[in-house]
Structure 1
Amino acid sequence: MNNTSARRWLTPGDLNGFLGLVVDNLSIMAFIATALIGLFGFPADIVFLRMFPGTALGVLLGNLAYTAMARRLAARVGRDDVTAMPLGLDAPTSIGMALLVLGPAFVHFKQGGMDEAAAAQATWELGMASLVVMGVLKFVLSFFGGAVQRHVPRAGLLGSIAGIALVLMGFLPLVEIMKVPLVGFAGLGVVLYALVAKGRLPFGVPGVLAAVAIGAALYYVLGPLGWLGSGYHAPAGWTWRFALPLPTLRWIDGIAYTVPYLPLILPFGLLMVVGGINVTESARAAGDEYRTRDILLVEALATLVAGFCGGVAQTTPYIGQPSYKAMGARSGYTLLTGIVIGLGGVFGYLSNLVELVPLSVLAPILVFVAIGITVQAFEATPMRYAAAVVFSFFPAIARMVTIKLSDPTYVAPAHFAELFGQHGHGVAELAVITILGNGFIITSMVWASFVVALIDGKTGRAALILLLGGALTLFGLIHSVDPAGGVYLPWLLDAQARALVWQFAGAYGVLAVVLLLLSVQRGKPAATST
């Protein structure tokens, strides 16, 4: 039943899909590089010669595997319209790794007495180890993905990732856009016109490509004329960089460094498992019946290989396989994307493109993705749970405020520590914001889950979820009283820190008791109208 068209390697739609998928991956790598190099002063050579090759290798291997799966499915069902699952770097967790793990760790290592080279090396090892931890978690959970999905409500899963999207992936890039508004705002407008409002561009040019092209043209035309002020930086010359992503055991040295960041790293892996389940269901609804376990195993193995070879950002199947299918993409677009990204990490042209295309040009794409993820959290969740989704955003907002306030360019570290430890009436406000933001992904899941249980009338279940939240608080997995967000054994803390732990853990316990008492009532509370 096989036909020759099912074995075609490229179709016109594959070219459109390739452009969109490549630019998505390039924009994420650009943000990682800009955040680490520009915001935290990380050495560029470590990013481009050690982190990028391994990261790109994960994209190459994952896309090759998904290409093969699509061609095998097309041969089995005898259809020529099977579309491969798109795979790339996950935007929210990649940005989270740069802003919440790697950058702060680099600063912490330097403050601890390491010189810049040693701090950069330790940070790279932490990044590799983090990827290995996430890869192992995803590999194990790929066999139990359905159970994970059943026990954590969709409002908690999507709400937590939407919180990352809204404040880290949306707001922070928006700030970068407005630093060079003549460039960034125009690109953002094109993205909103083409991708949000579904407006048609001349000659059918993809919206992402048009936004990047217009933004880059404005940047390189207006910049030399002096119209962009300090927002323009003359491009560096093309630099030849060659680095093979060879396997290394240096990640083993980074395992110990991951402990304080486990409240971030583990949810990052968990979110990708559930996301993989959701996108597989989306592809199935569009007519392409992929096995969920196969999709999850590929992304887990791609993440593991990337970690073994120096990578620091995890891969994931992208939301939007039906969109690629609608534009006529089949299996060639993932093959081309994997080759271009993978070889770009080896031969260095990815790093040159990242240096040539400023963040103000690429940031509009990230804002669009943030909008899409946040909207999906509401669209894919029953309307009655909207309050739970919104409630889950607050810890992410607290984390963003902490990121800004703990930036030494804004607030001196000594002054931050002084404000954190101040005590007037109750807990110091800065301490509240910081503690609320520490472990925010898990906190968001806990908060949304107990609100969902309340909405469903399962008050006893809500109380149990709160007791779990209290237990996590005791050990710093959420609401860590360590300003850096580290985990700990509460009985080893000093008296002041231990008092903070008991206040926050006790808050969960008190509310759980209140709800358990309420659960004794028969029947559900009467609904109120507004």
Structure 2
Amino acid sequence: MHNARPRWFVAGDLNGFFGLVVDNLSILGFIAAALVGIFGFPAEVVFTRMFPGTAFGVLVGNLIYTAMARRLAARSGRDDVTAMPLGLDAPTSIGMALLVLGPAFVQFKAQGLDEASAATATWQLGMASLMVMGTLKLVLSFAGDAITRLVPRAALLGSIGGAALMLLGFLPLIETLRAPVVGFATFGLLLYVLVARGPLPVRIPGVLLAFIVGTALYYGLGLAGLGAPGFRIPDALPLALTPPWPTLGFVDGLPYTLPYLSLLLPFGLLMVVGGINVAESARAAGDDYRTRDVLLAEAVSTLVAGFCGGVAQTTPYIGQPAYKHMGARSGYTLLAGLFVGIGGMLGIVSGLVQWLPLAVLAPIIVYVGLDITVQAFQSTRREHALAVALAFLPAIAYLLVIKLGNPAWIDPARFAELYAHGEGSGLPELATIVVLGNGFIITAMLWASALVAMVESRFRQSAAWWLLASVLTLFGVIHSVHPQGGVYLPGSLEGVARSIAWQFAAGYAVLATMLGLLSLQRGKAGA
């Protein structure tokens, strides 16, 4: 169908709106829970300083993606173009809270700062971190189209499919089932309306109905004494206007970023790779956005967020095909951006973060993760399916890293002991898991690209991919031997860390050499 002027809103935009808003609210909820609950960070600073700027970055990015979708619809004459969804990146946002902001707050207090001063310094560190990551993304965004041409679709979709299944599927599923009655009811209703497309007795968006039912169950059962352990009524937050004014506070925070650059730079790099992947995902779903434009939009929104007090970087979500299946077009990103951005200024977002239970928020993320996982297989060639499956494995290791690195699971002293020594022969088992998980998205892309080249009998090209993996391993871009995933110079490593890094690099180099020699066989394709 050809429309000169695409419609601003369609019915499916409401479902997309609720899904995208919930994605962002759930991540903000995780950030608040980590900083306030684990590290004792002042809640007022989180809700009135960090959240407004963070939410404003989401607003700016979604406005840009809305404009891009309307431009593509007008240019192509189609009315089924779905905008790229933009929000807060889950892995790096949680990583910022647990590995950067929380520990920095504790360290500032240990240096003698009072709580208010330590909180301000941590906030400045968060802003400066976004400026560093945003600048890196801005510079690298211009290489996006070239990388898309070089890396096969199985590698792009497989790496993001593994992340979707593990981080957007499994982890939120655990939060869903911590309140089983609420979780099963909400998740089942979402599957009914979004997958089975079953009819409803009321004319409201299915996603909204699922949230209403889940929230009512959660508080109804809790007040009746039948809810999951730990039920409580959250404290009410007063509405207050807290505009995300531009500030140069990040300048004071830049010196604080130096000890964390080994974390921040990979965080930014992962978002560039992820942006390339989601652009390919949207292209596979029928919407051909230019990769450079997708990356530039996320870089600009991250920089705006940091300049206005935000502490979590924005990214295009991997769920664009899922939103397309919901019937969403371009209105949902406009609505979601306005709601999150304006709601962040008025305190509405902070209030919802307090009141919406994770058992209700998490199921929509599980659905998006499953949808993207399915697309990774459906949108690649049949003979490349094994490469897609191979790309999932590093994400499993990263999932274990997230859990095993939690001090509530393994005491830090015991973790360090197992990491350095372990039991039995070979490298320490825990260290092997951590090293496999660090840089998992890039690792998955390299593995899948190498296997696709092997399947197509391009053995020299496969050898080149394995050799690249060997070089990146030496610098910790993939398989970092630092438990936190930082990069380093090869000569700076010592002891078991040095042994692990060099053995992983040597393993890739030996494999590359073998393939290179095999490609020399007469009559065999090898280019």
TM-score, normalised on structure 1?
Answer: 0.86
In 2, distance between residues paired with 1:387 and 1:6?
A: 43
Does the Cα contact within 8 Å between 1:159 and 1:392 map onto a contact in 2?
yes
Whether 1:95 aligns to 2:90 is: yes
Deviation at 1:187, TM superposition (A): 0.5
Deviation at 1:355, TM superposition (A): 0.6
Deviation at 1:96, TM superposition (A): 0.3
Amino acid at match of 1:365: I
Does the Cα contact within 8 Å between 1:247 and 1:310 map onto a contact in 2?
yes
Pick one of 272, 275, 278 that aligns with 1:275: 278
More deviation, 318-327/442-451: 318-327
In 1, distance between residues paired with 2:108 and 2:416?
A: 18
Instruction: Give the structure 1 partner of residue 174 of structure 2.
Output: 175
What's the secondary structure of 2:350's corresponding residue? helix
Q: Where do residues 75-86 of structure 1 align in structure 2 (5 Å cutoff)? A: 81=79, 85-86=83-84
Deviation at 1:281, TM superposition (A): 6.7
In 2, distance between residues paired with 1:187 and 1:524?
A: 55
Whether 1:234 aligns to 2:233 is: yes
Identity of aligned residues (%): 51
Deviation at 1:81, TM superposition (A): 4.2
More deviation, 362-371/39-48: 39-48
Q: Where do residues 411-430 of structure 1 align in structure 2 (5 Å cutoff)? A: 411-422=410-421, 424-430=424-430
Deviation at 1:152, TM superposition (A): 1.9
Instruction: Give the structure 2 partner of residue 252 of structure 1.
Output: 254
Does the Cα contact within 8 Å between 2:282 and 2:320 map onto a contact in 1?
yes
Instruction: Give the structure 1 partner of residue 131 of structure 2.
Output: 132
Q: C-alpha root-mean-square deviation of aligned residues, in Å? A: 3.3
Does the Cα contact within 8 Å between 1:264 and 1:441 map onto a contact in 2?
no
Deviation at 1:406, TM superposition (A): 2.0
Pick one of 100, 106, 109 that aligns with 1:105: 100
Q: Where do residues 323-362 of structure 1 align in structure 2 (5 Å cutoff)? A: 327=327, 332-362=331-361
In 1, distance between residues paired with 2:215 and 2:25?
A: 14
Does the Cα contact within 8 Å between 1:128 and 1:254 map onto a contact in 2?
no
What's the secondary structure of 1:197's corresponding residue? coil
What's the secondary structure of 1:484's corresponding residue? coil
Does the Cα contact within 8 Å between 1:106 and 1:119 map onto a contact in 2?
no
Amino acid at match of 1:198: R
In 2, distance between residues paired with 1:466 and 1:119?
A: 45
Does the Cα contact within 8 Å between 1:27 and 1:365 map onto a contact in 2?
no
In 1, distance between residues paired with 2:121 and 2:273?
A: 25
More deviation, 235-244/460-469: 235-244
Instruction: Give the structure 1 partner of residue 403 of structure 2.
Output: 404
Q: Where do residues 178-217 of structure 1 align in structure 2 (5 Å cutoff)? A: 178-217=177-216
In 1, distance between residues paired with 2:108 and 2:301?
A: 35
Instruction: Give the structure 2 partner of residue 442 of structure 1.
Output: 442
Count of matched residue positions in the alignment of Structure 1 and Structure 2: 514
Deviation at 1:294, TM superposition (A): 4.6
Deviation at 1:392, TM superposition (A): 1.8
In 2, distance between residues paired with 1:46 and 1:61?
A: 22
Residues 421-472 of structure 1 show CA distances to partners (whole Å, capped at 9, x for unaligned) of 1154221111111222222222222222211221121111111111111111
Does the Cα contact within 8 Å between 1:162 and 1:393 map onto a contact in 2?
yes
Deviation at 1:45, TM superposition (A): 3.0
In 2, distance between residues paired with 1:102 and 1:325?
A: 33
Instruction: Give the structure 1 partner of residue 369 of structure 2.
Output: 370
In 2, distance between residues paired with 1:8 and 1:85?
A: 13
Residues 202-236 of structure 1 show CA distances to partners (whole Å, capped at 9, x for unaligned) of 33432321221111010111101111141412122
Deviation at 1:35, TM superposition (A): 4.8
Gaps in structure 2 of 5+ consecutive residues: none
Does the Cα contact within 8 Å between 1:463 and 1:513 map onto a contact in 2?
yes
Does the Cα contact within 8 Å between 1:137 and 1:266 map onto a contact in 2?
yes
Instruction: Give the structure 2 partner of residue 528 of structure 1.
Output: none
In 1, distance between residues paired with 2:322 and 2:413?
A: 51
In 2, distance between residues paired with 1:269 and 1:458?
A: 27
Deviation at 1:351, TM superposition (A): 0.8
Instruction: Give the structure 1 partner of residue 146 of structure 2.
Output: 147
Does the Cα contact within 8 Å between 2:390 and 2:448 map onto a contact in 1?
yes
Change (3 A) 1:154 1:135: farther
In 1, distance between residues paired with 2:317 and 2:229?
A: 38
Instruction: Give the structure 2 partner of residue 302 of structure 1.
Output: 301
TM-score, normalised on structure 2?
Answer: 0.86
Amino acid at match of 2:47: F
What's the secondary structure of 2:479's corresponding residue? coil
Change (3 A) 1:507 1:122: farther
Does the Cα contact within 8 Å between 1:470 and 1:504 map onto a contact in 2?
yes
Gaps in structure 1 of 5+ consecutive residues: 526-530
Instruction: Give the structure 2 partner of residue 165 of structure 1.
Output: 164
In 2, distance between residues paired with 1:356 and 1:325?
A: 29
Amino acid at match of 2:87: L
Amino acid at match of 2:254: I
Q: Where do residues 511-522 of structure 1 align in structure 2 (5 Å cutoff)? A: 511-522=511-522
In 2, distance between residues paired with 1:478 and 1:208?
A: 38
What's the secondary structure of 1:223's corresponding residue? helix
What's the secondary structure of 1:89's corresponding residue? strand
Deviation at 1:306, TM superposition (A): 1.7
Change (3 A) 1:278 1:484: closer
What's the secondary structure of 2:55's corresponding residue? helix
Does the Cα contact within 8 Å between 2:193 and 2:206 map onto a contact in 1?
yes
Deviation at 1:492, TM superposition (A): 2.4
In 2, distance between residues paired with 1:506 and 1:105?
A: 32
In 1, distance between residues paired with 2:502 and 2:371?
A: 39
More deviation, 216-225/188-197: 188-197
Deviation at 1:108, TM superposition (A): 4.1
In 1, distance between residues paired with 2:7 and 2:395?
A: 45
